[in-house]
């Protein structure tokens, strides 16, 4: 099957930029896809129709569409996409951005709709697009739910023609959903992230303590970052005086299985500070796309755990955020989810599975910083370049016989 209009496709990308307007990292999760496709010469539109109600900083539902719409319009205008977006405000159902007539024409004529993170509430409403593509950014959770624990979710996944997953090495213990999950990874528009400024002296990360409930499959529990993080509480004391900083969302309670009576009911933030972690407010330091990028570029590198489900499911997931650190020439010391089978580790990316390995990883980067910083950017160029990642995704989705070659194959191996 030849690619329609070989030089250009009309592509719709979905996301959560408006819904989560206070999280700069969320903006980049989808912006890197939209900009990457635009840089490849395609006619790209961003569409947000999640059914998720936008919110204020205090968590209250936003009934006035103006702040949410203004935020999305500003992001799109900043990157030359002022006329290429549509947003459905669900609190008082209303469309913004493209006119109804133009939006319907774009959907009707689209060669492809890429549903990133499965954000569309009703993908069946967009069946007029020639091809619906699902990009799973939350592996393990996605496969367990799609296999039958959530019939409504499975129906949404089934509505798509082609399926990709950031889980490049999904474990055999996970259920067979009946879909072919092509491995892919986070695209990064590299020239948006290059930095020549000297970093400050801190390893950082931006993280949610927990996002939603654990999920169970065959007697095993698959949970959030809080479950993994408690294994590394004493890391700052072990690497002192090297600063470890967390731009931390939602650290409200300990994991249900974590019952250390020595904590005496203290909230996670209190204990983290006592153990030497530097805690900053992400709303103050990285709430929009520009400040999020500056925060990463100003960091010496990243240290981070992954969601427990990604680790336990040996998914091979690698963070969008970590990929941006690499693109900025900032090394990452990150918990291995199985990605060491798909990405080079040891320089630029230093993986760990234990507290001792995490300590050794930070000391290794600290002691050989220039070498690791150089390797970080080189890995970004070889493995996360939006042009390479997205060209391959499009080729597979359009059933082309020869997908562009990048270091990634159907089994997630280099």
Helix 355-367 and helix 369-379: axis angle, to 10°?
Answer: 100
Under a CB-based contact definition with an 8 Å cutoff, are residues 363 and 239 in contact?
yes
Q: CA-to-CA distance for 198 and 330, rounded, in angstroms?
A: 11
Give the pLDDT mean for 84-97. 95
Question: Both tokens of residue 386?
Answer: 């939006």
Is 52 exposed, middle or buried, given 0-12, 13-18 or 19+ CB atoms closer than 10 A? middle
The lowest-confidence range among 169-178, 252-261, 297-306 is 252-261
Count of other CB atoms within 10 angstroms of residue 194: 12
Q: What is the pLDDT of residues 291-337, one digit of tens each?
A: 999 999 999 999 999 999 999 999 999 999 999 999 999 999 999 99
Kindly give the residue spans of alpha helices, DSSP state H, lying in 263-385. Answer: 268-274, 282-285, 289-297, 308-312, 320-327, 355-367, 369-379
User: pLDDT tens digits for 198-229?
Assistant: 999 999 999 999 888 889 888 888 899 999 99
Average predicted confidence (pLDDT) for the chain: 91
Lowest mean pLDDT, pick from 93-102, 283-292, 398-407: 398-407
Instruction: State pTM to two decimals.
Output: 0.92
* pLDDT recorded at residue 7: 61
Sheet order of strands, 10-14 included: 94-97, 85-89, 43-48, 10-14, 112-116, 132-136, 162-165, 181-183
Tokens representing residue 219 in the block: 């007697």
């Amino acid at each position: 099957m030849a690619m329609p209009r070989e030089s250009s496709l009309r592509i719709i990308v979905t996301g959560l930029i408006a819904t989560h307007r206070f999280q700069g990292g969320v903006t980049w999760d989808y912006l890197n896809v939209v900009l990457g496709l635009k840089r490849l010469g395609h006619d790209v539109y961003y569409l947000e129709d999640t059914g998720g109600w936008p919110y204020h900083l205090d968590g209250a539902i936003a009934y006035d569409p103006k702040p949410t719409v203004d935020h999305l319009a500003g992001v799109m205008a900043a990157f030359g996409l002022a006329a290429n977006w549509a947003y459905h405000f669900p609190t008082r159902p209303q469309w913004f951005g493209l006119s109804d007539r133009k939006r319907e024409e774009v959907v009707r004529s689209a060669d492809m709709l890429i549903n990133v993170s499965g954000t569309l509430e009703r993908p069946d409403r967009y069946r007029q697009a020639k091809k619906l593509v699902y990009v799973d950014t939350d592996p393990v959770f996605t496969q367990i739910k799609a296999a039958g624990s959530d019939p409504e979710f499975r129906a949404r996944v089934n509505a798509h023609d082609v399926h990709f997953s950031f889980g490049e090495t999904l474990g055999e213990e996970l259920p067979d959903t009946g879909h072919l999950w092509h491995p892919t990874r986070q695209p990064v528009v590299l020239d948006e992230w290059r930095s020549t400024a000297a970093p400050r002296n801190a390893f950082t990360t931006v993280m949610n303590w927990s996002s939603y409930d654990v999920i169970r499959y065959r007697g095993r529990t698959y949970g959030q970052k809080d479950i993994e993080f408690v294994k590394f509480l004493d890391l700052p004391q072990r690497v002192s005086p090297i600063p470890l900083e967390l731009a931390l969302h939602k650290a409200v309670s300990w994991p249900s299985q974590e019952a250390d009576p020595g904590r005496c009911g203290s909230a996670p933030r209190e204990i983290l500070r006592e153990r030497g972690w530097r805690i900053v407010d992400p709303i103050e330091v990285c709430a929009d796309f520009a400040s999020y990028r500056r925060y990463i570029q100003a960091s010496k590198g990243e240290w981070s755990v992954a969601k427990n489900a990604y680790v336990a499911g040996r998914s091979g997931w690698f963070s969008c955020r970590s990929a941006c650190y690499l693109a900025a020439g900032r090394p990452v010391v990150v918990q291995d989810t199985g990605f060491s089978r798909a990405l080079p580790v040891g320089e630029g990316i230093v993986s760990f599975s234990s507290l001792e390995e995490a300590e050794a990883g930070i000391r290794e980067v600290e002691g050989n910083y220039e070498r690791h910083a150089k390797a970080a950017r080189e890995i970004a160029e070889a493995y996360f370049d939006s042009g390479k990642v997205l060209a391959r995704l499009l080729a597979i989705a359009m059933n082309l016989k020869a997908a562009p070659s990048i270091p990634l194959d159907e089994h997630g191996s280099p």
